[in-house]
Amino acid sequence: MHAQIPEVSPLNKAFTFGEKLTFKAKYSLYVNVPVGELKVQVQATPQDMNGSSCFHLTAKGKTFGFYDPFFKIRDNYESFIDLATMKTMYSSRDVNEGSFSFNETVVFDPKAKTAQTKKRTQKIPDTTMDVLSTLYYARNVDFTNAQPGQQYMFCTFIDDSAYRVGMEYVGKEVIKTDAGKFRCIKLKPLLVKDRIFKSKEDMALWITDDDNHIPILVMSGISVGSIKMELTAYENLKNPLNSKL
């Protein structure tokens, strides 16, 4: 007898079980210096969370050992998204960056429109997601008729509160990385002011111009130089990678 395949929302056309993306973090001043790595993955099988069959997402970022004495990073993110509704059911963040550490778990109840943390249970807007879920959900945006300056907004739960975040369509460019050369869609993230970045000018994102919409390059300005997050490897994509040249 074959196991029943859980219903998967038609809203999700961009990713599937077993997808793995690997990125290299580079610090740039006059030259690009690799300083760390990020691995983002959709686990290979559905997972149960509070009675819902879910995509299980993980993201693990770390600095390379040589840089640990200067600024050690060990960040772990985890999310569970309901297969049928694409709504977040649970998330966790374990952040360790230098002397700063932070741990947060959130239980989402989409029907009651609440988010429960260690501190409290609070009402949240409908379709509120955690950071990792937002990134995957945003990959399903249809940019076919997008015009420069057009904005797409989401509601994301960050540090015990729900915030409006989003992205602005800039246009299309060809981007070359260690994983190859790709036709890309360029976006400007619209983030929480005075928390992560001060304005949309501090960050840019390029995703593949195909049905996968996988991130290819992320660039953000810092006080001195800039940080790049560049795709180096990918596995088990949902759709053909038609954007690769």
What pTM value is reported for the model?
0.88
Q: What share of the chain is helix, strand, coil (3-state, %, to 5)?
A: 5, 55, 40
Higher pLDDT, 12 or 73: 12
pLDDT confidence bin for 73, thresholds 50/70/90 = confident
Rounded Cα distance between 99 and 44, Å, is 34
The residue-averaged pLDDT of 122-127 equals: 90
Average pLDDT, the chain: 86
Residues in contact with 101: Cβ distance below 8 Å, sequence separation at least 6, in sequence order: 95
Query: Is the pLDDT reported for residue 31 higher than 60?
Result: no
CB 91 within 8 A of CB 133: yes
What is the model's pLDDT at position 146? 92
- Which of the two residues, 80 and 100, has the higher pLDDT score? 80
